[in-house]
Amino acid sequence: MTPLAQDTKICVAKIGAAHGVRGEVKLWPFTEDPLAVLHYGPLSTKDGAQQFEVVRAREARGHLVAVLKGIATRNDAERLNGVELYIARDRLPPTADDEYYHADLIGLAAESAAGEPIGRVVAVHNFGAGDIIEIAPPKGPTLMLPFTNAVVPTVDLAQGRVIIERPQEIEGDSPDAAEQD
């Protein structure tokens, strides 16, 4: 696997339902700072066929209420429900040390410290208690592991791999744990 190409598009938001009658939409940003979508310039669909500019936005409960340039009616806004908005990877700000964009991790080879293949990173999730890295082995179910320095001590984007130190035991995984409940 080669490192992520800089011309790769990254999904930064998804348009939701119409909000009100003047063409506003609910906008679900996937950025650390929800209002960052205002500063990326034009956003496009994955295929680049449509472009949208976020003129202004305000925070609501877990989403933004946004005005998109050229969208003036509720009917216009309703037609956009579900549209994902992308930008080119090279338009994102650089990450700090030990920080990664999920898109940079997806597709990397997962190896043990001894260099044995484990699988490929297929997703990074956060269910509220920290990031979880999902690895698909060649056979069998995917592995869901904590994305911590102890379990993933090395992320080598240049070599297209992550090193995995599997935890010896995950609390509650032992067969007799069910009997203790």
pLDDT digits (tens, 9 = 90+) for 26-69: 999 988 899 999 999 999 999 999 999 999 999 998 899 999 99
Determine whether 83 is exposed, middle or buried from the number of CB atoms within 10 Å of its CB (0-12, 13-18, 19+): middle
Q: Is the pLDDT of residue 20 over 80?
A: yes
Q: Is the pLDDT of residue 174 over 60?
A: no
Return the beta strands (E) in the chain as ranges: 9-19, 24-29, 43-44, 51-52, 54-59, 64-68, 84-88, 109-112, 117-126, 131-136, 143-146, 154-156, 161-164
Question: Residue 136's pLDDT is what?
Answer: 97
User: Tokens 């409960």 belong to which residue?
Assistant: 61
Question: Residue 1's pLDDT is what?
Answer: 38
Neighbours of 175 (CB within 10 A): 6
Rounded CA separation 91/2 (Å): 20
Q: Is the pLDDT of residue 135 over 80?
A: yes
Question: Residue 163's pLDDT is what?
Answer: 97
C-beta of residue 105 within 8 angstroms of C-beta of residue 91: no
Question: Residue 175's pLDDT is what?
Answer: 55
Q: Is the pLDDT of residue 168 over 60?
A: yes
Question: Residue 84's pLDDT is what?
Answer: 96
pLDDT digits (tens, 9 = 90+) for 75-129: 999 999 999 999 998 888 888 888 888 888 999 999 999 999 999 999 999 887 8
Q: What is the mean pLDDT of residues 124-141?
A: 91
28: DSSP letter: E
Give domain limits for the chain: 9-91, 102-164
- Of the candidates 153, 148, 152, 147, the one whose C-alpha atom is nearest the C-alpha of residue 132 is 147
Question: Residue 103's pLDDT is what?
Answer: 87
The pair phi, psi for residue 27, each rounded to 5°, is -125, 125
CB burial readout 22-52, b (16+ within 10 A) else e: ebbbbbebeeeebeebbebeebbeeeeeeeb
Q: Is the pLDDT of residue 172 over 80?
A: no
Q: Where are the alpha helices (DSSP H) in the chain?
A: 74-78, 102-105, 177-180
Question: Residue 2's pLDDT is what?
Answer: 41
CATH of 102-164, one of 3.40.50.10540, 3.40.50.620, 2.30.30.240, 3.30.420.130: 2.30.30.240
Q: Which fold has domain 9-91?
A: Elongation Factor Tu (Ef-tu); domain 3 (2.40.30)
Q: Which pLDDT band holds residue 147 (cuts at 50, 70, 90)?
A: very high
Strand partners, 145: 133
